[in-house]
Amino acid sequence: MTQPQHQKSRSSAPPLAESDAPKVQYIDIEPDQAGQRIDNFLRTALKGAPKSLIYRLLRKGEVRVNKKRIKPEYKLQGGDTVRIAPVRLPEKGEAAPVSDSLLAHLESAVVFEDDRLMVLNKPSGLAVHGGSGVSLGLIEAVRKLRPDARFLELVHRLDRDTSGCIMIAKKRSMLRILHEALRERKVTKIYQALVVGRWESRHKRIDAPLLRAEVRSGERFVKVDAEGKASVTDYKVLRRFGDLATLVEARPKTGRTHQIRVHCQFTGHSIVGDTKYTADEDNQQFRDLGFRRLMLHAAGLVVSLPQGERLEVSAPLDAVLTDLMDKL
């Protein structure tokens, strides 16, 4: 993949004629790139690098800004110089082919598009980007879908098994605007989740701090813990299915990993199909009824843009799933 135009790499030594050995990269940050977190910037600069590698490079000081160590949350400034030590990315085979059926599905899943932004209704089961054992992700498929687009970058992320609205910037200026809107909480994310059991309160706010943890097997998860980061989610009941299940709307006020899933578990009403936070017997009960996926869907987005613009988009839940719910 060609290097993004905004990067100005200057090698510390003349390139060797027939060597593919990795070299030091120096990247000068332009004013329109200011405000990006360094970890997000590196995901673009080091295409295909797994997140674990990016954070290891930062932790070991192999990425420096203006000759100084920085933390992952450091926000780049115009005029900064980023030095990236020689790094060999995992070997890649040929790019995974994108089937005509997937391209057709993604084309039909576009819920908004102009010259600055695309919003898609991402299908469940599709990772947002390749890497870490995933050969093909949404962003790689979208680049095949829009081969003439000069710039296409994810604005935010959804878990692989979560469906629904996801924003892809078509201009760097729009990416910067939307990242700022996310930081300033000017983006309202609206989710729908089918949870186990009867959710009694029609309106409920869950204010419970979340902490990332790891079990001995190495599996990572998130739990409610007083030592965690402040996390708030507002819930509203949309539809009840007797005592079996409840369809709820969730509006996260903070953006923690697995926030909605863990807050649902905390209430005693885990999300149907959640293999990490829902009891196996509950998941099996719903699998027997035809539910084969995580029942969490990013149903809508409301974004406040500069000059008073307001973008509202929604993405319908898969018709197969609505039919299954109608039969509960």
Pairing label, strands 232-241, 117-122: unpaired
For residue 16, give the DSSP letter: P
Identify the pLDDT of residue 234: 97
Quote the pLDDT of residue 10: 45
- The whole-number pLDDT of residue 23 equals 84
- At position 307, the amino acid (one-letter code) is Q
Concatenating the DSSP letter of every residue in 153-207 gives EESS---TT-EEEEEEESSHHHHHHHHHHHHTT-EEEEEEEEEES----SEEEEE
Q: For residues 166 and 194, is the Cβ–Cβ distance under 8 A?
A: no
SS3 breakdown of the chain: % helix, strand, coil, rounded to 5? 25, 30, 45
Bridge partners of residue 88, in order along the sequence: none
Judge whether 25-83 and 100-179 match in fold: no
Residue 256: the pLDDT is: 93
Q: 153-169: per-residue pLDDT in tens?
A: 999 999 999 999 999 99
185-326 CATH, one of 2.60.40.420, 3.30.2350.10, 2.30.30.100, 3.40.50.300: 3.30.2350.10
Residues belonging to the active site: 159
**Selection from 155, 123, 145, 125 nearest residue 43 by Cα:** 155
Is residue 65 within 8 A of residue 78, CB to CB? The reply is no
Strand order in the sheet with 81-84: 25-28, 81-84, 63-65, 68-69
CATH placement of domain 25-83: 3.10.290.10
Q: How far apart are CA 270 and CA 266, in angstroms?
A: 8
Contacts of 157 (CB under 8 A, 6+ apart): 128, 166
Alpha carbons 162 and 123: distance in angstroms, whole number? 8
Low-confidence ranges of the chain (pLDDT < 50): 1-19, 93-94
pLDDT of residue 134: 56
| 64 neighbors 27 (Cβ within 8 angstroms) | no
Q: In the chain, what are the domain boundaries? A: 25-83, 100-179, 185-326
Hey, what are 223's tokens?
């739990």
Question: 187-196 and 210-214: which strand pairing?
Answer: unpaired
> What pLDDT score was predicted for residue 135?
64
For the entire predicted model, the pTM comes to 0.73
Token pair for 128: 């947002």
Phi, psi of 181 (to 5 degrees): -65, -40
* Angle (CA) 81 87 88, round 5°: 150
**Secondary structure (3-state) at 57:** helix
Residue 215: its pLDDT value, please? Answer: 72
- Going from the C-alpha of 147 to that of each of 59, 171, 320, the distances in angstroms are 36, 15, 31
The dihedral sign for the CA sequence 41, 42, 47, 51: negative
| DSSP assigned state of 308 | G
Kindly state the greatest CA–CA separation across the chain. 71
Residue-wise DSSP of 263-304: HHHHHT-PBTT-TTTS-HHHHHHHHTTT--S--EEEEEEEEE
CATH architecture of the domain covering 100-179: 2-Layer Sandwich (3.30)
Residue 50 confidence (pLDDT)? 78
pLDDT score of 95 = 53
Per-residue tokens: 176? 């910067």
pLDDT at 11: 38
What is the pLDDT at residue 312?
96
